[in-house]
Homo-oligomer: A and B are copies of this chain.
Amino acid sequence: MSYSPAMLSPTPATAKISALKGGPARPSFKAQMLQAREAAIVQSATRLLAEKGFDMMTVDEVAAEVGIAKASLYKHFSSKEDLAAAAMVQVLGQARSFLASLPADAPALEQLKAVVRWMMALQLAGQMPSLPSQNSILRAALMRNKAYLDGLMEASERIGGWIEQAQAQGAINARLPPIAVLYTLYARACDPVLDFLKMAGQHSDSQIIELVLSTCFDGLKGP
């Protein structure tokens, strides 16, 4: 199994190629089309991964939704695992952009809440890929993916800094290991409670987000 170009960077492969050529900021028309197609593939994959999960999603479905042949898709991504990894890399890129857009002077607790809100909104919008943590093949593919690991580490360090700040300020329980706090926040991205509440149909998306956000930070006991 080899890496597809898109795995090495959040930006599509074709853009990278033109950059290596020392070319201008304007890539060729053909390259733009390829870049757009690759983005379309990843976007469909992301949506289907969110809707059906990795195991239930088939490569045929992704190709059909994009409107290309399956063999063409395999020219871009050498395996289903690599495709899923590309989806994760894309989402991680969006997450990093969001993190960078946050006002730097806000309290650490508010930064953490903003991150969790963003992740939950993405899940409710059907754009958060859900990958089975038990699949060791997929795990291996992710662990060998530099772009994924780099993005995950950068995000984790940024969030980890806020966790330590919040603990120092008494806004987060200082007895909790920071790593446990980080995992608890990340877990909101795949919290089944969101879908259950959505299926119950009694609350709007923003109400669900605030509800789960409250139980996450204040607990069931409440503030």
Contacts and interface: CB of A to CB of B under 8 A. Distances in A.
Contacts of A55: 53, 55-56, 132
**Prevailing SS type, chain A contact patch:** helix
A192 B221 CA distance: 22
Interface residues of A, number: 46
Interface in A183-197: 183-185, 187, 190-193, 195-197
A59 interface: no
A203 B183 CA distance: 14
A221 B177 contact: no
Given A192-B133, A196-B183, A221 B220 contact: no
B133 A172 contact: no
Given A215-B176, A220-B173, A221-B218, A133 B195 contact: yes
B187 A220 contact: no
